[in-house]
Amino acid sequence: MAKVGFVGLGVMGGGIARRLLDAGHELAGWNRTKEKAAPLVEAGMTWCDSPREVADRSGVVFTMVTNVAALEAVTGGPDGIVAGLGPGKVYVDMSTVSPAASRELAERVRAAGAEMLDAPVSGSVATLEQGKLSVMVGGDAATFERVEPILHDIGPTVTRVGENGQAVLVKIAHNLQLAVQMLAFSEGVLLAEKGGIAREVAVEVFTSSAIASPMVKYRGPFVLEQPDEAWFDVNMMQKDMLYALEAGRQLDVPLPTTAITNEYLTAARGLGLERQDFAALFDVLAQLAGVEKVRD
Amino acid sequence: MAKVGFVGLGVMGGGIARRLLDAGHELAGWNRTKEKAAPLVEAGMTWCDSPREVADRSGVVFTMVTNVAALEAVTGGPDGIVAGLGPGKVYVDMSTVSPAASRELAERVRAAGAEMLDAPVSGSVATLEQGKLSVMVGGDAATFERVEPILHDIGPTVTRVGENGQAVLVKIAHNLQLAVQMLAFSEGVLLAEKGGIAREVAVEVFTSSAIASPMVKYRGPFVLEQPDEAWFDVNMMQKDMLYALEAGRQLDVPLPTTAITNEYLTAARGLGLERQDFAALFDVLAQLAGVEKVRD
Amino acid sequence: MAKVGFVGLGVMGGGIARRLLDAGHELAGWNRTKEKAAPLVEAGMTWCDSPREVADRSGVVFTMVTNVAALEAVTGGPDGIVAGLGPGKVYVDMSTVSPAASRELAERVRAAGAEMLDAPVSGSVATLEQGKLSVMVGGDAATFERVEPILHDIGPTVTRVGENGQAVLVKIAHNLQLAVQMLAFSEGVLLAEKGGIAREVAVEVFTSSAIASPMVKYRGPFVLEQPDEAWFDVNMMQKDMLYALEAGRQLDVPLPTTAITNEYLTAARGLGLERQDFAALFDVLAQLAGVEKVRD
Amino acid sequence: MAKVGFVGLGVMGGGIARRLLDAGHELAGWNRTKEKAAPLVEAGMTWCDSPREVADRSGVVFTMVTNVAALEAVTGGPDGIVAGLGPGKVYVDMSTVSPAASRELAERVRAAGAEMLDAPVSGSVATLEQGKLSVMVGGDAATFERVEPILHDIGPTVTRVGENGQAVLVKIAHNLQLAVQMLAFSEGVLLAEKGGIAREVAVEVFTSSAIASPMVKYRGPFVLEQPDEAWFDVNMMQKDMLYALEAGRQLDVPLPTTAITNEYLTAARGLGLERQDFAALFDVLAQLAGVEKVRD
């Protein structure tokens, strides 16, 4: 078993850290708000006073944070992870950040003598708990092989898709489709509903049809009732859309449905729905369609 | 067994007629080009000289044609179906047409003393051959009950979704999502590809991910190689988009992703791709992204 | 002076008819609601009992109606204009209709032995009253030359742009830009306003800038206060957008900004703003942006 | 006369600097490539070895650079402008940058004891040479009054629109409309052209119509022939669109036509047109419409 470290112990990061602990690894960790780490400390994780200390103590360091700014905060500076890296160590970032930021960070890690992989996961907390997470990995093949066994302790499907930054690229190229599918689904539901078909019926028909992706199946019913807590809120979704749009501009790929959908996410914020699951795209469109009772 | 009639014996209509024949119904039929009906005549179908004659001879008449104009051609005028209808007869249109046109036709059928149902199917020729077609039905409940047994001879899933015109509405509200999902998928694939990931890899990842609807699973690989014959070509897809956009305007439902995607279907025609499967949306975007080798 | 006829005596049509009368022409007319024609009858116009009678009595017949359906209503059937046309007569339609409908009508007129021109005007009632209307004409050159002097009695600028249907095509290709410019203007104003700049200041800056088209100059201030009566309401504007989108599909020209803006006109209807001037595009966007006080 | 400094002596910056010199001010300057400054040095400008030295020597320092990164390069660090500022000095940035970046820089200037104004200009090099430039100013009123006379030496129209960052906000809220109007204009021209009307005729009609903004008047003819040198190229235009989209997200203002048009600018880059004037939006659309001869 390896000496591993984990920085960013929120719902998702904390759950992954727990799996590493359960698999028998020696775990050191740090989180911005210490309280959240308490259950893990109780379960055997060593608390560190800075991200750097986590890196100092570990052969393989993981991060799972919210965005590029948070990633910079835990990796840069004298207390950051990069300062604690060195030859032989591997740094694995599981956050969904922009490919450009990920590649640039890999450069800095390499300059410190270590290696980096980007390893975003696909799936939700539920998937994680079921032990079914998929991990996509970007980085060089030799480094990948070294940490592959540890990644398998996180989820059963581990795939190297390419070089540094390419796994997060695939992730955001995937995530843009979540939002677009949701807006198109909302168009379909509202068309049926204003034509006299009960919303429940439309949802039922669509969720067992040719457009019923897993996303449509689990999120479609949210147009009937939003979950108590957002699975992936408007702001989180827009963050990924922005990374996609940024990458599109850098790679000269026009993203018409992404761009249009992103403006509806902005509208969701304009209407005060930013903390709701991004199924709130439905609410924006429903309001424009003059639907009086948007939600129960 | 019932005396049934079928007008519009193309690939899909002919296949459905065959199932009715196989189920033991007495079948009369007509088609714009007589040759296509030859195998059915050989199998026992009575050929009629006009759509009206089909209606004259049948208790339940089906149509399956391409669009509103073709529907008007087989139902209107002295040789049309409506002229052959009367009390006790049921007319079932399986075409995907505009809800408004369907409702208006139902009025004319009612004025002739008969009843109409709109009954579009979901699924392709392959689904039909596997005996797995779903039929959605719009029209009054009593009429539905009368013909329900015959509809079950067509496919295993038969659902009444509402009144006249509402089944075709659900169908087009569904179909718009096919096109939008395909364009969003193309955005994702091109983003990955221009970021250095092989197109095959992107297709593989996406077709087993949270956005992998049945449509994405079967049509996604078309960005690697278009099928020899279009499953659903650009023009057919655009026809459904136009019905959706028309319904959206009549019902005051804005359809942003539908509207944008529809303009890309127009661009596909501008680029000479109108006879290709609507996966040609990928080709339009690939061209704008400066991808040199759009297809093998 | 010529024997001229005029069908469709609304605000714009009536004003044009008045100019023809004032210029000394012998005028016969018909309108769907007879009362509106009273002032013209008083001023010397001969009232007719049907559009056909207008055509019977006149060498040159004008129409100015709302849309394709209204045009069909006054030209078709036994009481319609076409029934009253014959060799030597010229029919001039000043309505903004779809190019396809206009071309098709020209065929029917030609079959009746007469000639047709499409002659939409650019400018509002105010322009008309100032005697500054521009008339664009589609149709053959010889016919154009015959009626050109009469058209000059309507407005000072008379230009033949091409064959039948091409003048209305130019008109709708122009009008789509009105709506798109208005939505883009609304985006600019709201961006400034939510950034802390008074709406009045934004309007003032933009209406004297590089984007200040005549449309922006006169309609821009409508975001401060809608006029008592719509100059060109949401439904009228959408009608022209639909003709443009229809022509775009027929000619294989993608119209991305037109398509998107059109969905915002649909949203304006969803929000109950259909009778307002199409500057209501601002209200739709303002609502999405969470602006509390959309209008005074 | 004042001691003024100017950093960023490109075509526009250099032209403004020349006007300051001509007005009798004592001028110090710096530019990334020294050669471009030679004519100004010959005309009396004192060359400095760093942006900081310019600030050291001047009471009022101007900058005119390309984007946020370039602005950071000349203002930050030990050799940057901020290091040379202090109480009583005023720093005026004439660049078009993001409002957020401008506000943040104003904070840093204030921390250094000086004051900053954002003062973007509207108009091109031609406008500058005619002495007709408009200057919009953001910042506090007292500071504005102190430098107002100097700004009048640059152009005749000087308007304070609000606080720090608000002048650049108005500028980008204006510029987004340039691009959207250009794409809508292209839609109109192509619709007319594919309907059989000569492109020249369409351009002529539109440039003297209700949608003929100054931008349409001068840039419209570019669809007939691009200028030898871009007035404002695709990349420059996209930069401003991105600042607008960024501001839209921060202020919760959806920008639908901006977002869609921006993707067409990306497509222009995909097609290799990034160095052309942004009238290249026409070329992208023309290609999608299957127009064979896009340009002479």
Of B177, B191, B215, the CB nearest to A185: B177
Gap between the Cα atoms of C257 and C261, Å rounded: 6
Quote the distance between the C-alpha of residue A175 and its chain's center.
Answer: 9
Min distance C40 CA to chain D CA atoms (Å): 30
Q: What ipTM goes with this model? A: 0.94
How deeply is A250 buried, as exposed, middle or buried, from its count of CB atoms within 10 A (0-12, 13-18, 19+)?
middle
Q: Write down the H helix ranges in chain B.
A: 11-22, 38-42, 51-57, 68-75, 81-84, 99-111, 125-129, 141-154, 166-194, 199-206, 214-219, 234-251, 256-270, 281-288
Burial category of B267 from C-beta neighbours within 10 Å (exposed 0-12, middle 13-18, buried 19 and up): buried
The pLDDT value given to residue A20: 96
Contact across the interface for D256 and A263, Cβ inside 8 Å: yes
Tell me the helix, strand and coil percentages in chain D, rounded to 5. Answer: 55, 15, 30
Given D99, D201, D290, which is nearest C161 (Cβ)?
Answer: D201
| DSSP assignments along A142-208, one per residue | HHHHHHHHHHHHH-SEEEEEESTTHHHHHHHHHHHHHHHHHHHHHHHHHHHHHTT--HHHHHHHHTT
CB atoms D260 and A260 under 8 Å: yes
* Cα–Cα distance list, C289 to A235, C189, C194 (Å): 15, 12, 9
Of B173, B197, B215, the CB nearest to A210: B215
How distant is the Cα of B284 from the closest Cα of chain D, in angstroms? 8
CB D44 within 8 A of CB D17: no
Q: Tell me the torsion sign for CA atoms B160, A211, A277, D246.
A: negative
Domains and CATH numbers, chain A: 3-163 (3.40.50.720), 169-288 (1.10.1040.10)
Distance from CA of C239 to the nearest CA of D (A): 16
Measured between CA atoms, how close is D242 to chain B, in angstroms?
19
Token code pair at residue B49: 């000289």
How close does chain A come to C256, measured CA to CA in Å? 10
**Nearest residue in chain A measured CA to CA from B121:** A209
Choose among A171, A295, A285: nearest CA to A232.
A171
Which residues in chain A have their CB less than 8 angstroms from residue B161's CB? 197, 201, 205
Which of A187, A212, A216 is the closest to B258 by Cβ? Answer: A187
Q: Is the pLDDT of residue B296 over 70?
A: no
**Distances in whole angstroms, Cα of residue D60 to Cα of each of A131, B32, D138, D151, D237:** 64, 83, 16, 11, 29
- For residue A206, which of A232, A187, A225, A178 has the smallest C-alpha distance? A187
pLDDT at C14: 95
Chain C residues with at least one Cβ partner in A under 8 Å? 256, 260, 267, 269-272, 284, 287-290
Question: Which chains touch B (3+ CB pairs under 8 A)?
Answer: A, C, D
**Residue A163 CA: distances (Å) to CA of A87, B195, B258, C68:** 20, 10, 35, 59
Q: Decide if D178 and C288 are in contact by the 8 Å CB cutoff.
A: no
Cβ neighbours of A252 in D, within 8 Å: 266-267, 269-270
Answer whether residue B46 shows pLDDT above 80: yes
Which residues of chain A fall below pLDDT 50?
none
Chain A hits for C256, Cβ within 8 Å: 256
Residue in chain B lying closest to A212 (CA): B213
Determine, for residues B289 and A214 on separate chains, whether the beta-carbon distance falls below 8 Å: no
Closest residue in chain A to residue D257, using alpha carbons only: A260
State mean pLDDT over D25-51.
Answer: 96
Quote the tokens at residue A232.
């992936």
Residues 6+ apart with CB under 8 A from B229: none
Give the residue from D134, D126, D167 showing the smallest Cα distance to D152: D134
Out of B176, B201, B289, the one facing A253 most closely (by C-beta) is: B289
CA dist list (Å): A199 to A196, B138, B161, C135:
9, 16, 11, 50
Tell if the CB–CB gap between C266 and B260 is shorter than 8 Å: no
Given A248, A255, A263, which is nearest D255 (Cβ)? A263
Interface test with A, best of B161, B253, B282 (most A CBs within 10 A): B253
The whole-angstrom separation of Cα C31 and Cα C47 is: 9
Residue of chain C whose Cα is closest to the Cα of B241? C249
Retrieve residue B272's tokens. Answer: 């000479």
Of D34, D288, A224, whose CA–CA distance to B265 is shortest? D288
Nearest chain B alpha carbon to D284: B288
User: CB contacts < 8 Å between A and D, how many?
Assistant: 48
Q: pLDDT value at position C296?
A: 64
Q: Please list every residue in chain D whose beta carbon sits closer than 8 Å to the beta carbon of residue C248.
A: 187, 191
**Sequence-ordered list of residues with C-beta below 8 angstroms from that of A115, at least 6 positions apart, any chain:** A89, A90, A91, A109, A139, A140, A143
Which residue from B minimizes the CA distance to A215? B210
pTM of the model: 0.93
Q: What is the structure's pLDDT at A296?
A: 64
Name the β-bridge partners of C115. C90
Is C252 in Cβ contact with B270 (below 8 Å)? yes
Q: Which of D250, D252, D257 to mutate to test the interface with A (most CBs of A within 10 A)?
A: D252
Residue D118: φ, ψ to 5°: -100, 135
CA terminus-to-terminus distance, chain A:
51
Average pLDDT over residues C192-220: 95
Percentage above 90 pLDDT, chain C: 91
Q: How many CB pairs under 8 A join B and C?
A: 49
Q: Chains touching chain C at 3 or more Cβ pairs under 8 angstroms? A: A, B, D
C86 in Cβ contact with C114 (< 8 Å): yes
> Residue C107 above 90 pLDDT?
yes
Tell me what percent of the residues of chain C surpass a pLDDT of 70: 100
- What local confidence, expressed as pLDDT, does residue D296 receive? 64
CB contact under 8 A, A197 and B161: yes
Residue of D nearest to A267 (CA): D254
- What sections of chain C are H helices per DSSP? 11-22, 38-42, 51-57, 68-75, 81-84, 99-111, 125-129, 141-154, 166-194, 199-206, 214-219, 234-251, 256-270, 281-288
Shortest alpha-carbon distance between residue A287 and chain C (Å): 8
* Burial class of residue B178 in the structure, from the number of CB atoms within 10 Å of its CB (0-12 exposed, 13-18 middle, 19+ buried): buried
> Which two three-digit tokens encode residue B102?
């369907």
- Nearest Cβ partner for C288 among A260, A284, A290: A284
Task: Output the furthest CA–CA distance in chain C (Å, rounded).
Answer: 66
From A107, A246, A102, A99, select the one nearest A170 (Cα to Cα): A99
Rounded CA-CA distance D294/D287 in Å is 7
Name chain D contacts of C213, Cβ cutoff 8 Å.
181, 210-213, 216
CA-based nearest distance C231→chain B, Å = 22
The residue of chain B nearest to residue C273, with distances taken between CA atoms, is: B252
Burial (0-12, 13-18, 19+ Cβ within 10 Å), A74: buried
CB contact under 8 A, D258 and C181: no
Distance from CA of C177 to the nearest CA of D (A): 6
Of A260, A267, A289, the CB nearest to C288: A267
Terminal alpha carbon distance of chain C:
51
Q: What angle do CA A101, A106, A112 make, to 5 degrees?
A: 130
Distance of CA C15 to CAs C18, C38, C126, C218, Å? 5, 13, 10, 21
Residues of chain A with Cβ-Cβ distance to C271 below 8 Å are 288, 290
Of the candidates D256, D262, D269, the beta carbon closest to that of A252 is on D269
Residues of D with CB under 8 A from a CB of A: 238, 242, 248-249, 252-256, 259-260, 262-264, 266-267, 269-270
By Cβ distance, the residue of C270, C288, C289 closest to A290 is C270
Strand partners, A4: A27, A60
Q: Which chains touch D (3 or more CB pairs under 8 A)?
A: A, B, C
Written as one string, the DSSP assignment of D28-83 is EEE-SSGGGGHHHHHTTPEE-SSHHHHHHH-SEEEE--SSHHHHHHHHSSTTSHHH
Minimal Cα distance from B271: which residue of C?
C252
Of residues D81, D9, D1, the one with CA closest to residue D42: D9
Cβ pair C161, C167 in contact under 8 A:
yes
- Least confident range from A259-268, B118-127, D103-112: namely B118-127
Predicted confidence (pLDDT) at residue D125 exceeds the cutoff of 90: no
Q: Do C288 and A270 touch (CB under 8 A)?
A: yes
CB C121 within 8 A of CB C133: yes
Closest residue in C to A267 (Cα) is C288
